[in-house]
Structure 1
Amino acid sequence: MLPLGQHLRPPHHTVPQMCASALAADPDAVVIHAFDRTWTYAEVDAEAHRLARALAGAGVAAGDRVALFVQNDPIFVTGLLAAWKLGAIGVPINPMNTGRELAFQLEDSAAVALIALPGLWTQVAQQVVADGIGDVRLVILAPHTAWRQDGEQFETSSVPVPPELLGRVGSAEVVSADTLPDGSDYTPGAVCADDVALLTYTSGTTGRPKGAMNTHGNLTFNAETYVQMSALQPGEPILAIAPLFHITGMVGHVLLGLRVGAPIVLSHRFHPQVMLESIRHSRPVFTIGAITALMALADCPAATAADFASLRTIYSGGAPIAPALADRLEGIFGTYVHNVYGMSETSSPTHLVPRGQRAPVDPVSGALSVGRPVYDTQVRIADEQRADVQAGTYGEILVRGPQVTPGYWNRPDATAESFADGWLRTGDIGFVDADGWYYLVDRKKDMINASGYKVWPREVEDVLYTHPAVAEAAVVGAADAYRGETVIAFVTLHEGRTVNPSELIDFCKADLAAYKYPRSIEILDEMPKTATGKILRRKLRGT
C-alpha cells in the first residue's frame, strides 16, 4: 500500500479506457468464473458489444440510464459494459427490492432500458413495467444459464410475456443477435472522467433514496485503490462475496477484476455452502465483503482450514468489526481480516487498514480502527460548526478526494446539504488518534446498519402507516450479534382497532426488502414524546 499522502494518478480516467487497455493486453485472459463456465476478456467484450447493439437499436444513447436487476451473474458485467460502450449510465438495483422499491428507482432515474433475471422479471418487474412506471422501452432478460442455488442446480425456464409488452421484452440471446434497424453498428459513446457512470441508490436525511452519481473518474480512481490494497496479479481470482449492485462489489470485485485481469468468481447469490464450493473450485486470492457474510462462511460446517488457504488478503466493510471477532476470524481463515471504510458517495473506500498491518484498538472505547485515508484523500473530524476538532475528540467525519461523487441525481437540495465547500459530510461520528488512525463511533443520523445494508427508519415507518390499524410508528435499530443491528418497530393503534405484531411484520415483508422489515414490533399505549410532540427515539432505544 502506498504511504499516507503519497500521490498516484490512476492510469485510466474512464472505465471503457481501462477495459480497452486490459483487453488489448491479453484478450484470452479469463475474467469471469461462474460455476463450471469461464469467460475471457474477448468473450465478455463480444457479448457486451452484442448487448450494446440491442440497446442502441432501442434508441439508448449517451447519458441514458440502463437499469440492472440481477444477482451476481455474468450478465451484470456484460450488461454494464454494454451501457458504458454507449456512454449510458448504469443503474444497479438491489435484487431484493419489492415492486414499490423498484418502481421508485426506475421512475427517479428515468431508466430507458432494464436488464433483468427471468425470475425477478416475472415476480417483481413485469407488473412495474406493465403499469407504465418510468420510461422503460426495452427489457432484456438474462440468458437461460444454469445456476446453483442452495446447493442445487436449476435451469431458468422460458418466460411468458404479456401481449401488451410484446416487442419490448426479449431474452439476451435473441436481442443480442438482432441488428440495428439500418444494419449498421452503433456509435460508441464518448465519455470523460467527469461523466456519470453509475447511479448507486442510497438513503439520506429525508429517508427518500437518492442516486449518488459515481463518475468514471471516481470509479477508476478507486479501482486503482483496490489494486494497491489487494496487490493482485493477473490471473489471481477474486471471490465475489459482496453483491455486485453494491458499490463494494461493483468496485472491489468487478472493476478490480477488469483492471488487473483477475478472474471474478461469481456464485449467483451468497449462500455459504455454494460459496465454499466456489472457493474450492477457483482458489481465490482476494475478497472483500460484509462481516456477516464472512461470519457465515467461517461457520460453514463443511469448511476446513485448507479451504481458505488460498485467500491471501481479506477485507471487510459496511460495519465495524469487533476486535474479538477479528481474532476469531483470523483463527479460522488463517489470515487477518482488514477493515475498510467508505460509502456509495465515495465510490467505496476512503479509509482502510493497509495490507500487512493490524488495526489498533482504541483503549477507551474498545473500537477497532477503520484504518487510514487512502492516497490523495483528505479527511477531517469536525464539530457542528464544521470546525476541526483535536485528535481524540468525537466529531463528524468529512472527506474529499477523487473518489467523492459530485452529488445526487436530480437532488440539488440534498447535494447542497451533504456536499458543502468541497467536503462530503458522511453523517458518521468518529475520531482520529495521535497516530493518524481513524475510528467510527456512531452514526449521526438514525440510519440502521443491518448486515452492511443501510435502512432508513422513515421508509419502514411509511409502510407501517399504510396499515389501517396503525396510528403512530417509530423504527429504531437494536444491537444484534449476527447482523450488527436489526430493525425493530414500535406502534400505537387507532382507537377500536386491533392487530397482532406478527401480522404487522408480515405486512411489512410484502412491501420491503428482506433486510428492511422489522424483526419485532411492540404495540404501545402511548409513544414517548418531547413537549413539541416529537417522538423520542432514544427512549425507545433505551438510551
Structure 2
Amino acid sequence: MPTDALPWLSSYPPEVPHRFEPEFTDALSMFRAAVARSPETTAISYFDGRLVLREVDELSDALACALLAGGFERGDRLAVYLQNVPQFVIAMVATWKAGGVMVSINPMSRQRELRHLLVDSGATALVCLEDLYDEVVREVLPTSGVRQVITTSPLEYQTRNDPRLFANVHRVRHPGTYDMAELMDRHASEHPPAVEFAPTDVALLTYTSGTTGTPKGAMNTHGNVGFNAQTLREWCRLTPDDVVLGVAPLSHVTGLIAHVAVSMLVPMELVLTYRFDATMVVETIRERRPTFTVAALPVYIALANTPGVSAEDLESLRAAYSGGAPVTPAWASRFEEQFGVRIHTVYGLTETTSPSHAVPLGARPPVDPESGALSVGVPVPNTHSEIVDEQGQPMKAGEIGEIAISGPQVVPGYWQKPEETEHAMAGGRLLTGDVGFMDENGWFYVVDRKKDMINASGFKVWPREVEDVLCEHPAVNEAAVVGVPDEYRGETVKAFVTLRQDAAATEDELIAHCKARMSAYKYPRVVEIIDVLPKTATGKLLRRELPRTAR
C-alpha cells in the first residue's frame, strides 16, 4: 500500500509530520548535545535534590573512568539494578561513555530472576542498591560472571529522607564492593576516551516481561533510542519548559525512553521519587507541577484513590499517556470526569523501544462499538503497522488478526537468540503476539494476547472484552479474565475482580451485569472477588498467575 494511501494519516495532527529524519543517530551524542546547549538546565529533581545537566555529565564521566579502570571494555555490559534514583541516569550515560551496553534490571527481581539476567546478558559489572546487594545480589554473585560490583543508596542526592519511603533504609558498606559516590570522587575531573556509536550498535538490553515465558533480551540500538525519544518530543510537543513525571520504572523500556531518553533530548527536567507511592507522587505533582508522563493504568487508578487528591492537584498534566496495560473506556472516562485530565493511550513493546502507536495529543480515541475496546492510537511517524493472519498476510479493516510493526524503533533481535529473532522479526517486521484490528479510518485496537484466547464451546472469547465490560460496573476497580476447564464447554470464562474503595458488589451481581451486556458464550460463569491482581512491575496483568480452577 503506498504511503500516501495509509488511512491513519488523516488522523495525524498538523503539528506532527508522518515522517521525519532522525536528529541523532546515537543516544550518547543526543546527551552531549543537550549538555552543550543547556548545561545549567535541571536534568533531575529528586525530592529536595537537583542535578543540572553539567553535573550529570561530570558524574557520568567519573563513573565511566572508574568502570574502565576496573577492566570494563568496549562492548561490555553493565547491569543496573536500581530504583528510580538519579544514579540510574548517571550509570546509563556512564555505560555509553565507557563504550558499553546497559542492562536494565527490574529492582523487584529476586535471586533466580537476577541470576538469569546476569548470566544471559554476560554482564561484567553491576550497579545496585546497598539493600538489594544484601537481600539478593550476595547469593547470586559467585555464579553470575560479574567482576565489579558498585553499590549506592537512595539517600544520596537528597536530604528529605521521608520516613514513608526510607524508614528502613540505612547506609551499609559491603566487603568486596565499591561505593559509587567514592568511586566518582576518586575519578572526579577525569574524562574517558572519546567513543562513537553507529545507529546499529546496541545501547540497551531490556528484558521482556516474561508474561509468556522466559525473559528475552531485546537489543535496543542507539538508533532505536534516539528515534523514539524524538518521536515522543514531536508527538507530545515537548519543550524545555515541560517537566517529566518519572513514575514508570526506569528499568522498563517505558521509563528508559519516555522518561530518561526524551528528557535528555529536549532537554527538560525529570522528576524521580525512588519508587511509586501514590501519596508521595501526589505531593510531588503539587510541588514540581509536571506536564508530561507515561504511566500504566494502575498508576492512574492509585492516584484517583488517594485520599484528598483533587482536580487542582493534577491539572498540570497536559500530556498524560498510559501504556503497558490496557486502558478501559470506563476508567478513562471516570478519570477525566474526576480530574479533568484526559488519559491518552499509547501502545508499544520492549521490542519497539516503547511507542509504536499513540493517540495524538488532545485527540479523543474512538471506542469500537462492537467490542467496546478503546483505540490505542495510530502508528507514530516513520512506522508501518498492519493486521496479519496466521500466514502473515495483511487483513482487511475490521478483521481480527495479529498486530505487525515495521519501523526504526523495532529492535534487530533478541540477545543471542537467533531462532526467536527469526520467528518474531523475520524481514525486520515484528510479529507482536498481540491480537487486534484496524478500523476503516486507520485507528488500531488491541483485543488481547494470542495465548490468552479462551475457547468456550468452539467460540473465541477474548479476556480483554470481558474485563472491559466488568469495569463498566461502578463498584469494579480492576478485572482479570481467564479460561478454566469445563466438562461441557471445554473451557469457560472466569473473572477475578477487585472492588473500588467504599464500594460493594456480589459475585452474582457482577455475573448478571455481564450477562445483560454480552453474548451467552462470553459472560463469566464464575466471578471471584480478590484483594489484588498479580502484575508485573509496570502494571501488566499476569493472567498466568491466576488459579485455573472453577473456584
Give the TM-score, by structure 2 length. 0.79
Partner SS state of residue 185, structure 2 = coil
Partner of 1:21: 33
Partner of 1:342: 348
Partner of 2:489: none
Out of 266, 281, 287, the residue aligned to residue 281 of structure 1 is 287
Q: CA deviation at 1:228?
A: 1.6
Cα distance change on mapping 1:226 and 1:134 into 2, 3 Å: same
AA aligned to 1:420 is A
Partner SS state of residue 421, structure 1 = helix
Q: CA deviation at 1:134?
A: 2.3
Partner of 1:531: none
* Aligned alpha-carbon RMSD (Å): 3.1
Partner of 1:161: 174
Partner of 1:100: 112
Q: Gaps spanning 5+ residues in structure 1: where?
A: 458-475, 484-508, 523-536
- 1:528-539 equivalences in 2 (<5 Å): none
Out of 341, 353, 359, the residue aligned to residue 365 of structure 2 is 359
Q: Gaps spanning 5+ residues in structure 2: where?
A: 1-11, 454-462, 468-479, 483-492, 501-533
Q: What is the CA–CA distance in structure 2 between the aligned matches of 1:381 and 1:518, rounded to whole Å?
A: 24
Partner SS state of residue 420, structure 1 = helix
Report if aligned partners of 1:115, 1:142 keep a CA contact under 8 Å in 2: no
Partner SS state of residue 387, structure 2 = strand
Out of 409, 412, 426, the residue aligned to residue 403 of structure 1 is 409
Single out whichever of 437-446 and 283-292 deviates more from structure 2. 437-446
Partner of 1:141: 152
AA aligned to 1:170 is Y
| Structure 1 residues 203-224: Cα deviation after superposition (integer angstroms, max 9, x where no partner) | 5697111100000100110001
Cα distance change on mapping 1:338 and 1:410 into 2, 3 Å: same
Out of 133, 137, 143, the residue aligned to residue 132 of structure 1 is 143
| Structure 1 residues 498-522: Cα deviation after superposition (integer angstroms, max 9, x where no partner) | xxxxxxxxxxx9xx99989999876
AA aligned to 1:255 is A
Cα distance change on mapping 1:33 and 1:9 into 2, 3 Å: same
Q: What is the CA–CA distance in structure 1 between the aligned matches of 2:218 and 2:339, rounded to whole Å?
A: 34
AA aligned to 1:303 is V
Q: CA deviation at 1:149?
A: 5.9
Cα distance change on mapping 1:298 and 1:138 into 2, 3 Å: same
Partner of 1:412: 418
Partner SS state of residue 409, structure 2 = coil
Cα distance change on mapping 1:159 and 1:377 into 2, 3 Å: same
Partner of 1:112: 124
Partner of 1:432: 438
Report if aligned partners of 1:151, 1:273 keep a CA contact under 8 Å in 2: no
1:66 to 2:109 alignment: no
Out of 252, 262, 265, the residue aligned to residue 258 of structure 2 is 252
Partner of 2:303: 297
Cα distance change on mapping 1:25 and 1:517 into 2, 3 Å: closer
Partner SS state of residue 91, structure 1 = strand
Q: What is the CA–CA distance in structure 2 between the aligned matches of 1:89 and 1:388, rounded to whole Å?
A: 36
Q: What is the CA–CA distance in structure 1 between the aligned matches of 2:540 and 2:406, rounded to whole Å?
A: 30
| Structure 1 residues 462-507: Cα deviation after superposition (integer angstroms, max 9, x where no partner) | xxxxxxxxxxxxxx99554579xxxxxxxxxxxxxxxxxxxxxxxx
Partner of 1:171: 179
Give the TM-score, by structure 1 length. 0.80
| Structure 1 residues 77-107: Cα deviation after superposition (integer angstroms, max 9, x where no partner) | 0010100111210111000011110011001
How many correspondences in the alignment? 469
Report if aligned partners of 2:225, 2:353 keep a CA contact under 8 Å in 1: yes
Q: What is the CA–CA distance in structure 2 between the aligned matches of 1:541 and 1:444, rounded to whole Å?
A: 22
Q: CA deviation at 1:186?
A: 2.8
Partner of 1:472: none
Q: What is the CA–CA distance in structure 2 between the aligned matches of 1:114 and 1:47, rounded to whole Å?
A: 17
Identity score, percent? 42
Q: CA deviation at 1:371?
A: 0.5
- 1:223-262 equivalences in 2 (<5 Å): 223-262=229-268
Partner SS state of residue 338, structure 2 = helix
Partner of 2:62: 50
Q: What is the CA–CA distance in structure 2 between the aligned matches of 1:86 and 1:2, rounded to whole Å?
A: 40
Out of 363, 372, 383, the residue aligned to residue 378 of structure 2 is 372
Cα distance change on mapping 1:380 and 1:521 into 2, 3 Å: closer
1:195 to 2:206 alignment: no
Partner of 2:275: 269
Q: What is the CA–CA distance in structure 2 between the aligned matches of 1:513 and 1:279, rounded to whole Å?
A: 20
Partner SS state of residue 451, structure 2 = coil
Q: CA deviation at 1:138?
A: 3.4
Partner of 2:164: 151
Report if aligned partners of 1:147, 1:155 keep a CA contact under 8 Å in 2: no
Q: What is the CA–CA distance in structure 2 between the aligned matches of 1:287 and 1:387, rounded to whole Å?
A: 36
Cα distance change on mapping 1:100 and 1:149 into 2, 3 Å: farther
Out of 14, 36, 53, the residue aligned to residue 48 of structure 2 is 36
Report if aligned partners of 2:124, 2:148 keep a CA contact under 8 Å in 1: yes
Report if aligned partners of 1:284, 1:310 keep a CA contact under 8 Å in 2: yes
Q: CA deviation at 1:405?
A: 0.1
Partner of 2:88: 76
Q: CA deviation at 1:155?
A: 8.1
AA aligned to 2:147 is V
Partner SS state of residue 362, structure 1 = coil
Cα distance change on mapping 1:259 and 1:413 into 2, 3 Å: same
